[in-house]
Structures are given as C-alpha cells and as structure tokens.
Amino acid sequence: MNITIYLEEAAQVSIAFIIGAVIGLEREFRSKPAGFRTMIFICVGSCLYTILSKESNTVSPDRIASNIVTGIGFIGAGVIFKEGISVNGLTTAALIWITAALGMAIGYKNYPIAIVVSSMVVIALFVLEPVQRFINRLHKVKDYKIKTDDTTDGLKKEMEAFFEQHEINFRCMKMNKENNEAIYLYRIGAPKHDYDIVNNFLLQHKSVISFDI
C-alpha cells in the first residue's frame, strides 16, 4: 500500500472541497436553491468519481465521466423553473455544471486549468456583478403579470390605450382565465425607463387585483 497515493488523492478532494465551498458561498449568500453544501458535494463527488474511474480496470474512464455529466444534468434541471414568461435558475444550473467540471479537472490532476477556470468563475460571480447591474439598468423591457377580476376585454383595451397614449411599447404575450379571474402577461418598454407611470396606473385601477414584475 502506497501511502503517498492516498495522501495525494486526499489533497485532490480537499482542493475540490475548497473550490466547491467558494462557489457555494456566493449561491448561499443569494439564497439560491443550490447553495454552500450542495456545491461542495457536487465538486467533491465529481472529483471522487474521476479518481475512481482512473483506478478501475474493468470500466472505461470515459463512460464514468460521461455518466457524471449526465447526472449533473439532472441536478441542474432541478433548479430551473419557469414562472410566466420568465425563466429562473439558469445561472445556478450553469454553476452546478461547471463546478462538476472543476471537480473532474482536479480528479485528473489538471490543476492549472482548474485554477484558471475557478478564478474566472469567481470573477464572474463577484467582480462582474456591478457590470450586470449596469446592464440591467439599461434594459428597456420588463415583463408584467397582471391579474384582474374583469374577465371581459375592457381592462385590456383600457391598458393598451393607456400605453399608446404614453408612448409605451407593449406586447401581450399571453392571457388566460383562472377562477373567474383574467391573467395578462405583457412585455413593456417604457420611455426613459420610467415604469412608475405604468405601476401607478395598475395600482390605482380598481379592476386590477395584483401585478408582478
């Protein structure tokens, strides 16, 4: 029994633990579905499977690696959910995918690429956040989910007349009826990014039960 090999493998999973913890901290801070411990498990587990695949004499390492990717795909799909016309969880799913890849890179002893990619991930998560906020401020379009007790098209006509009057770009993406209530999904672009006029109109309208942005 070569104790050096076991120590090296223990060092590998320890590095995977650290990388998974760093990525998981950011997700935990933002209260995302896959947080601190989940990212650690993903990175360490992928690293361990990769180490074991190299030591196996009966199973091709390529098969184990491909199964890791497949399994991670199921986990990533579990954190993606659709609400109306918005899709959430894509960033977390991508992080799960790349965290598993980092664990595999460590398992294959490719430390330079693991360090470089880990640095890129940390920069994208922490350093580039102000850039993302700046881009979001420039975003001219918002999605509104409007619920009303007016099941006729009266409110729809009134809203669209209001949008046209204030030169607001709009598009009705979807409309349906649930429990004697009508639900409209609008994609709206307000001039000069001033959405207060839209919000005030919806807040003051008697037929509007609620709206989400």
CA 80/CA 76 separation, integer angstroms: 7
For residue 76, the model assigns a pLDDT of: 81
**Of the spans 98-107, 123-132, 183-192, 200-209, which averages the highest pLDDT?**
98-107
Q: Are strands 208-212 and 169-178 parallel, antiparallel or unpaired?
A: unpaired
Distance CA 161, CA 97 (A): 46
**What structural domains does the chain harbor?**
3-135 (no CATH), 140-212 (3.30.70.260)
Share of the chain above pLDDT 70, in %: 90
8 A C-beta contact, residue 126 and residue 118: no
More confident residue, 209 or 31: 209
| pLDDT value for 59 | 66
* 58 — pLDDT class (breaks 50, 70, 90): low
Q: What is the pTM of this model?
A: 0.66
Longest dimension (CA), the chain: 81
pLDDT reported for residue 192:
66
Backbone angles phi, psi at 183, to 5 degrees: -125, 125
CA dist 80 to 6, 83, 88, 133, Å?
A: 38, 10, 6, 22
pLDDT value, residue 25 = 87
Residues 6+ apart with CB under 8 A from 101: 46, 117
